[in-house]
Amino acid sequence: MTTAMGGGRSAGRTPAAVGLGGVTVRFRTRRREVTAVSGVSLDVAAGEFVAIVGPSGCGKSTLLKLVAGLLAPTEGEVRLGGERVTGPRRDIGYVFQRAALLEWRSVRRNILLQAEMRRMPAATARGRAEELIAMTGLDGFEDAYPHELSGGMRQRVALCRALLHRPPVLLMDEPFGALDALTREQLNTELNRIWRETGTTVLLVTHSISEACALAGRVVVMSPRPGTVTEITEVALPAERDYTATVARPEFREATVRVRRLLGAAPTGG
Ligand code: ADP
Ligand code: MG
């Protein structure tokens, strides 16, 4: 049911899509030094869906920023596709809790922003955008403006924008945290389908134990700050997961009970 830290399934074959090796991050502020994460090792295989859960301030967002190359580790190393991350990476997609859409641009043009920033060929980008709009059920809203959309639809637009350039790795930081429960469950089912259709590797940070266990093949449970990996819990369910059907399964319940216990039993860090 559980695995030791690191040494993902792909060890010895292809390089891990994401690799963290003994990563420690310390922030030095004027008053004090904060160790956000300490000695974190994790290998994520290509095409895997991994969720990260842990108490507030344990360094979950910090881990995603490391993978994106927006932050450098104080100790240890970070790899993407076997290559050491030394600066901001363009071969990732990033989705945040707030969709951060440009209010003066239509849905289609918000999605195409990604293409403009990357100077993708216009025709390729437009074709890919239409594909994603259909995949996320946004058809009919291509010309709508963000203020006309529900929270769930805004996150779908953010997801399309993050996937436009077909990133091998998708980083999601509490993407559904601001949505109502029903919308969130519906988006969980959709994200599962999109993940299977695109084959992208997903690293999802969430506060929701159910969301983590409903979506991920493995759930990384972190301790309070300084964040360390308490355990990596496997969720023994098939890749195809409808949220409602999944939460009724005993394997789902088993995983959530275990993760909840790990989070509750985690010692308080200094
Ligand atoms: P989480 O996402 O798990 O809530 P974060 O990764 O955002 O946690 O932050 C982990 C810890 O590092 C927190 O204590 C936070 O205050 C601190 N921290 C994060 N970013 C910075 C920064 N740029 N400067 C100083 N401290 C930071
Ligand atoms: Mg965070």
Cβ-contact 151, 178 below 8 angstroms: yes
Residue 77 lies in a domain: no
**Ligand (nearest to CA of 56):** 1
Helix orientation angle between 107-118 and 151-163, rounded to the nearest 10 degrees:
30
What pTM was estimated for this model as a whole? 0.92
Question: Which long-range contacts does 69-74 make (Cβ < 8 Å, 24+ apart)?
Answer: 71/25, 73/23, 73/24, 73/25, 74/24, 74/25, 74/26
Tens-digit pLDDT profile for residues 143-181: 999 999 999 999 999 999 999 999 999 999 999 999 999
Residue 57 lies in a domain: no
59 lines ligand 1 (CB under 6 A): yes
pLDDT of amino acid 160: 96
Residue 145 lies in a domain: yes
Residue 211 lies in a domain: no
Place of tokens 């559980």: 2
pLDDT of amino acid 15: 83
223 lines ligand 1 (CB under 6 A): no
Residue 34 lies in a domain: no
Q: How many domains, the chain?
A: 1
pLDDT of amino acid 9: 47
Residue pLDDT tens, the chain, 270 long: 444 444 444 445 678 999 999 999 999 989 999 999 999 999 999 999 999 999 999 999 999 999 999 999 999 999 999 999 999 998 999 999 888 899 999 999 999 999 998 889 999 999 999 999 999 999 999 999 999 999 999 999 999 999 999 999 999 999 999 999 999 999 999 999 999 999 999 999 999 999 999 999 999 999 999 999 999 999 999 999 999 999 999 999 999 999 999 999 655 443
Residue 187 lies in a domain: no
Enumerate residues with CB within 5 Å of ligand 2 (an ion).
Answer: 61
Residue 236 lies in a domain: no
Residue 37 lies in a domain: no
Domain range for 137: 101-165
Rounded to the nearest angstrom, the distance between the alpha carbon of 56 and the centre of ligand 2 is: 7
**Ligand (nearest to CA of 54):** 1
Which residue in 258, 220, 257, 214 sits closest to 239, CA to CA?
214
pLDDT of amino acid 267: 52
